[in-house]
Amino acid sequence: MSMPSLINILPAVARKAPETPEEVAAVLAEARRLDRRVVVFSTGHGIPPIGDTSDRILMDISAFDQVEIDPAARIARIGGAVQWRELIEAAGEHGLTAPFGSAASVGVTGYMMGGGIGFMSRHLGLGCSSIRAAQLVTPDGQYRRIDSGSDPDLFWALRGGGGGFGVITSLEVNLTPVPQMAGGVLAWGIEDAERVLTVWSEWSRQAPEDVTTAVRLVQPPEGPALAVVVATAPRPAGQLSADLGPLISLNPMLNTISNTDPAAFLNEYTDPEIDTTEPPHAFEHVLLDTVTPQAAQLAAEFGQPATGCGAIMVEIRHLGGALARPAPGGGAMDRIEGEYSLFLMGPPEAAEKMAHAADVLSDFGRGRTYLNFMQRRTGRQTAYPEETIGRLADLYEAVDPEGLLDHPHPIVRRSRLAV
């Protein structure tokens, strides 16, 4: 979502676009004087769950867009508004990458605040685990550098805790060499959805740990509905194709598996861009522990164009691998407690049927969620263990006792966890 279109659409008491940390602090001070809450954004992906912004001050931080790569130290220093496309292209010039997501236009900072999973995550792990340090303006107007030595508690919270602890103006991120990468899609007609899902789910239980895949049942605006498997791995295309043998044996009508690199893959297979001239899409999400033949059948039925739940995309993404293991010295989110992620996207009129589909398929999990896929305004109880929620709430009360920063997923106080 581009900044100009968002600025034109969202109502607000005031719109501010600070260009320096000092100007950020001034906006926060003004909000406090006016007794108004502040919504911080760069790309706008986190705006929809907040809802009505008419009484808020909107702070657009898109001016914080610098990218600096230190190839010797394998570190990126990036502004708080940098998008994945920009970071991956800059790092790729040095044969490096970071744990990128599945949408090129998503901001790196927001992605990492909520954990960060994408199409190399079974190999690279959570995005937030790569954060080395953050520079931010806290709600009281202080400009601080946060790392494991300066403030270990807040550093823990910034790595996957969901954000809301300040206005992040820059991050330092560890980079990883990816000397080889293959990726692409396999595609079938939507009538093959159940067959593809059944074979894929069985195959995924034994899939190599560094192969990341997802099945997407998609209904594009033009052309036929498809069942698509998206796949990546840090290896040559021939080896990835061999790994995908059971799926390729299903004779896909399209096979684009080839040698690539993170930037090329992300640009070609990025998630659909948000069209701000259309009504906001409805979303549903839940984590699953398994995809049984019954679950595959149900998901395939929900993804059918005429008789399904009305979603334009039903995605089941394979997690596990590095995502399932606690990251060394990890933060508030150091792993994902689910083997698969279910995500549905569709028009507003399909919201009720999509919610039903997610509820039915949630029987194959424990009702857990991943924060970045939660598109309705809600707390964080299903995304974190109770102990983590309590610790985040204590930190939030210490950093922002007035609740100056408005967040799409508020941190529920420990005393309200049972509500």
- Is the model's pLDDT at 417 over the cut of 80? no
Name the DSSP class of 389: H
Tell me whether strands 167-174 and 75-79 are parallel, antiparallel or unpaired: antiparallel
Polymer length of the chain: 419
Backbone φ and ψ of 317, nearest 5°:
-105, 135
Distance CA 3, CA 260 (A): 30
Backbone φ and ψ of 324, nearest 5°:
-90, -15
Task: Give 65-89 as a DSSP string.
Answer: --EEEETTTTEEEEETT-BHHHHHH
Q: Around 245, how many Cα atoms within 13 Å sit in the side-chain half-sphere?
A: 6
- Amino acid 363: pLDDT: 97
Chain-wide mean pLDDT for the chain? Answer: 90
> What is the amino acid identity at position 56?
R
Q: How many CB atoms lie within 10 A of CB 229?
A: 26
Percent of the chain with pLDDT over 90: 75
pLDDT, tens only, 387-405: 999 999 999 999 999 899 9
- Amino acid 406: pLDDT: 87
- Look at residue 170 and give its three-state secondary structure: strand
- With 0.85 as the threshold, say if the pTM is over it: yes
**Domains of the chain (ranges plus CATH)?**
181-373 (3.40.462.20)
Tell me whether strands 57-60 and 14-16 are parallel, antiparallel or unpaired: parallel
> What is the amino acid identity at position 418?
A
Q: Scanning the structure block, which residue is given the tokens 């954990």?
A: 115
Q: Scanning the structure block, which residue is given the tokens 């550098």?
A: 145
Contact criterion met (CB below 8 Å) for 69 and 109 = no
- Is the model's pLDDT at 418 over the cut of 50? no
Q: Around 153, how many Cα atoms within 13 Å sit in the side-chain half-sphere?
A: 11
- Amino acid 13: pLDDT: 63
Cα R_g (the chain), whole angstroms: 21
Mean pLDDT of 143-167: 95
- Is the model's pLDDT at 258 over the cut of 90? yes
Residue 380: pLDDT band with limits 50, 70, 90: confident
Q: Scanning the structure block, which residue is given the tokens 């034109």?
A: 8
- Amino acid 377: pLDDT: 60
Q: How many CB atoms lie within 10 A of CB 169?
A: 22
- Amino acid 379: pLDDT: 65
- Is the model's pLDDT at 48 over the cut of 60? no
Q: Give CB contacts under 8 A, 24+ apart, made by 146-149.
A: 147/172, 148/329
Mean pLDDT of 96-105: 92
- Amino acid 279: pLDDT: 64
Percent of the chain with pLDDT over 70: 89
Mean pLDDT of 374-398: 85
Q: Could you tell me the sign of the dihedral formed by the alpha carbons of 388, 108, 2, 372, in that order? A: negative
Note the Cα 226 to chain centre separation in Å: 23
pLDDT, tens only, 189-231: 999 999 999 999 999 999 999 999 999 999 988 889 999 999 9
Which range is least confidently modeled, 6-15, 48-57, 155-164, 344-353?
Answer: 6-15
- Amino acid 407: pLDDT: 77
Residue 412: pLDDT band with limits 50, 70, 90: low
Q: How many CB atoms lie within 10 A of CB 123?
A: 22
Q: Scanning the structure block, which residue is given the tokens 């001070």?
A: 29
Contacts of 412 (CB under 8 A, 6+ apart): 379, 380, 381, 389, 393, 419
Query: Please, is 150 exposed, middle or buried when counting C-beta atoms within 10 Å of its C-beta (0-12, 13-18, 19+)?
Result: exposed
Residue 55: pLDDT band with limits 50, 70, 90: confident
Residue 378: pLDDT band with limits 50, 70, 90: low
Distance CA 238, CA 259 (A): 9
pLDDT, tens only, 311-331: 999 999 999 999 999 998 899
- Amino acid 10: pLDDT: 58
Distance CA 370, CA 384 (A): 9
Of 373, 380, 414, 216, nearest in space to 281 by CA: 373
pLDDT, tens only, 126-150: 999 999 999 999 999 999 999 999 9
Residue 299: pLDDT band with limits 50, 70, 90: very high
As a three-state string, the secondary structure of 328-364 is CCCCCCCCCCCCEEEEEEECHHHHHHHHHHHHHHHHH
Name the DSSP class of 240: H
